[in-house]
Structure 1
Amino acid sequence: MMTYQHLLIHDNGYIRRITVAREAKLNALSKATLTELNNAIGDALATAAIRGIVLTGAGDKAFVAGADIAEFAGLNSEEGRALAQDGQTRVFNLIHHANKPIVAAINGYALGGGLELALACHIRVAVTHAKLGLPEVSLGLIPGYGGTQRLTQLVGRGRALEMILTGDMVTAEQALEYGILNHVVESTELLAKAEGILHRMTARSQTAVAGAIRAVNASLGSNDQGFETEINEFGRCFGTSDFSEGVAAFLEKRKPNF
């Protein structure tokens, strides 16, 4: 098995747990972390002995607190667009279309790219103290890793627009009520719950499970245009003064002045 700098890999029978392990950075998704996720998920999907995947974060503060914003600074609109396209193709769509079930075990904050990572998974379980949100508008950005599409599919247009346009966080209980989460549990039960769901799935016909995932995904229709629009709009944000101000304010730990 490959060794990773930013991930921990643990097998439990048919289930592989992939943990984003950048606790000091609240498990933020750097380019290097996304590359490792692409490799680790691809490897798990290609390993016959693995029938399901749990995706989680290290520590009890954050699942993934977002993208590594410092890496965004200085990108122009074409580079911004490429960033979204690359992440979507290599990680978020890879998860969404995986032929083995992937459960997000949300152990704390799931914000921005972190929530988008969870949204790409097939099922989401969170701890009671988890907070979820898409705060990109406070950076002069929009979600760029599928958030505008996948959140809307789960919660409907009204709820999705409220979360995306305010950038506000919701509690685990609210997220459960909205339909973002399948289950909310105490911290001590999180991994057992996520793995328990997968154990029931891994006991079923694997060809049927893969077929069911494809069929359910097909029910969402061909919304390639939606993802393409998101990627283009995300890229366009990078050319704006609002983006420059939003990122500067974030890095300087002050409120942006839009």
Structure 2
Amino acid sequence: MTSLDPVLDKDGVRLTVEDAVATVTLTNPDKRNAQSPALWRALTEAGRSLPGSVRVVVLRGEGKSFSAGLDRQAFSPEGFDGEPSFPELARRSDTDLDAVIAAYQSAFTWWRRSDIVSIAAVQGHAIGAGFQLALACDLRVVASDVQFAMRETSLGLVPDLGGTHPLVGLVGHARALEICATGRFVQADEAERTGLANLVVEPAELDEAVKDLTAALLAAPRDATVETKALLQGASSRTYDEQRAAERAAQARRLRDLAGLGD
């Protein structure tokens, strides 16, 4: 597929595909790409709509900010049209409330699928749900004006969109706790120093830097990248000997495939 006609364009999310690269764009710059349940459903649909040819997914936000987080309308008694308000959610059973939050989380989980590598191109504000969406991706290329912040705790809530696991994995427990509990801003230099950002560039260079990284990722054979990503994803949950065994098994599959002996 080479057309840049949108595969999906709804509720503040646009998905386009060009050959092996998909681009998911948040398209509400007037509200700094604030998020809503409708946007989360569109993000989930975007993940389900990816053609099998896609190897790299780029996530970006239009305008000056990547995403300023949850739309404040969510905190009003009325909530969003057609959506349960926060007070209404609080009155639901544990099972129903768990199911609703799990559906919201599905917009943030597919970015780490082993068959793709996802890159968040982040500029300006990435607050709360915006921070968690950037953390959902495998890699982050950020502009020098970036401002990350996890504001949920300051609002009496917790980060519940999958962001706590990658945040701790990147910066460690103590720094993650401090970032979340204080809600402070993390600027570009700290993001690069602590591993939140793979690369920091000037805002005008963000798109080009993402293109260069995408090209580098596509240079390796797809199956080798898929196997390597799976090895790295499982490394923290395996012992050293278990990881060595996983490496041997993955390498055996690669050798047989390269020799034309694969399934």
**TM-score category by the smaller chain?**
0.7 to 0.9
Flag the 1:80–1:195 CA change in 2: closer, same or farther, 3 A: farther
Partner of 1:66: 69
Q: Does 1:169 align with 2:175?
A: no
User: Which moves more between the two structures, 168-177 or 67-76?
Assistant: 67-76
Partner of 1:23: 29
Partner of 1:132: 148
- Contact 2:143–2:206 at 8 Å: present in 1 too? yes
Equivalent runs, 1:213-252 vs 2, <5 Å: 213-221=229-237
d(CA) in 2 for partners of 1:155, 1:149: 10
Partner of 2:56: 52
1:122 is displaced (CA, Å) by: 0.6
Q: Does 1:94 align with 2:110?
A: yes
d(CA) in 2 for partners of 1:103, 1:214: 17
- Contact 1:101–1:198 at 8 Å: present in 2 too? no
Flag the 1:5–1:92 CA change in 2: closer, same or farther, 3 A: closer
Partner of 1:142: 158
Partner of 1:37: 43
User: Which moves more between the two structures, 4-13 or 174-183?
Assistant: 4-13
2:9 aligned counterpart, secondary structure = coil
Instruction: Provide the TM-score with structure 1 as the length reference.
Output: 0.78
1:93 aligned counterpart, secondary structure = helix
Instruction: Provide the TM-score with structure 2 as the length reference.
Output: 0.77
d(CA) in 2 for partners of 1:120, 1:210: 17
1:171-203 CA distances to partner (integer Å, 9 max, x unpaired)?
Answer: 111111111110111111111111211111112
d(CA) in 2 for partners of 1:188, 1:10: 22
- Contact 1:126–1:183 at 8 Å: present in 2 too? yes
Flag the 1:70–1:216 CA change in 2: closer, same or farther, 3 A: same
1:91-136 CA distances to partner (integer Å, 9 max, x unpaired)?
Answer: 2221123421000000211111111111110100111111001011
The alignment yields a C-alpha RMSD, in angstroms, of: 1.9
- Contact 2:55–2:115 at 8 Å: present in 1 too? no
1:70 is displaced (CA, Å) by: 2.4
d(CA) in 1 for partners of 2:55, 2:231: 18
Q: Does 1:14 align with 2:20?
A: yes
1:144 is displaced (CA, Å) by: 0.5
- Contact 2:56–2:214 at 8 Å: present in 1 too? yes
- Contact 1:127–1:190 at 8 Å: present in 2 too? yes
Partner of 1:153: 169
User: What are structure 1's unaligned runs of at least 5 residues?
Assistant: 223-258
- Contact 1:97–1:217 at 8 Å: present in 2 too? no
Flag the 1:43–1:172 CA change in 2: closer, same or farther, 3 A: same
d(CA) in 1 for partners of 2:97, 2:212: 39
- Contact 1:57–1:63 at 8 Å: present in 2 too? yes
Partner of 2:247: none
Aligned residues: 218
Indicate the structure whose relative CO is greater, using CA pairs within 8 Å and at least 6 residues apart. 1
Aligned AA for 1:63? F
1:13 is displaced (CA, Å) by: 4.3
User: What are structure 2's unaligned runs of at least 5 residues?
Assistant: 1-6, 76-85, 239-263
Percent pairwise identity = 30
